[in-house]
Amino acid sequence: MERLQKVIAHGGIASRRKAEELILAGKVKVNGITVKELGIKINPRTDLVEIEGTKIQAMVKPVYYMLNKPRGYVTTARDQFNRLTVLDLLKDVKCRVYPVGRLDYETEGLLLLTNDGELAFKLTHPKNKVDKVYEVLVDGNVSKATLQLLANGVMLDDGKTLPAKAKTLKSWPHQTLVELTIREGRNRQVRKMMAAAGHRVKQLKRTKIDFLELNDLKQGQYRSLTLAEIERLKSL
């Protein structure tokens, strides 16, 4: 027997906290009966769970993948303009998974996908401050003052960013490769930070999420996370 909110989270429907909100709001039924108590335990193998009339597959085995996302793919389950999505790259994955956070259409690099809603929530919530490392190729020469500006936090339309880590990896006469480490996941945050600092992003790649690195994973390829990696992510 397992708590209802845990079953919902493991089904990839929502985080455990969101599942609790759905239960309290009277939007969850077990075997046709509305449940509003958080302490209830169910048998995920035999009990039927519905959220706002939609049946969920309670006993979905949690799966975890790392993908090296190429440019030209959207990080959604489906796209209104019929563009390719990252799920089109997961040819051998039979169960339904969701991206953890987003990389925009032109951004490449490390992306996690899972059906574990609870872990996805933990990795993307700003309060947990999970490091995300990007290599950013920008126009122009990036000065030490600009690196310090990025490190201190940049004022954007939705408020000031958290302090970041910024360093120059390589420079040329008219462009610079910067490594930027952030702990948030705002929409197009890296591009907006660099624009606010006076530099246009030419190429953007995420190389790390906390301890996870792409290493030799080629663009468009994916792999399952190891048990040790999964446990380490859950302990963050």
Give catalytic residue positions. 104
Confirm if 141 and 147 have CB atoms less than 8 A apart. Answer: no
User: For residue 26, how many other CB atoms are within 10 A of its CB?
Assistant: 11
DSSP one-letter code for 38: T
Q: Which residues contact 68 (CB under 8 A, 6 or more apart)?
A: 108, 109, 110, 111, 214, 217, 218, 219, 220, 221, 222
Dist. CA 233–CA 110, nearest whole Å:
15
Q: Which residues contact 12 (CB under 8 A, 6 or more apart)?
A: 60, 96, 97, 98, 114, 115, 116, 117
**Residue given tokens 């009966």 in the structure block:** 33
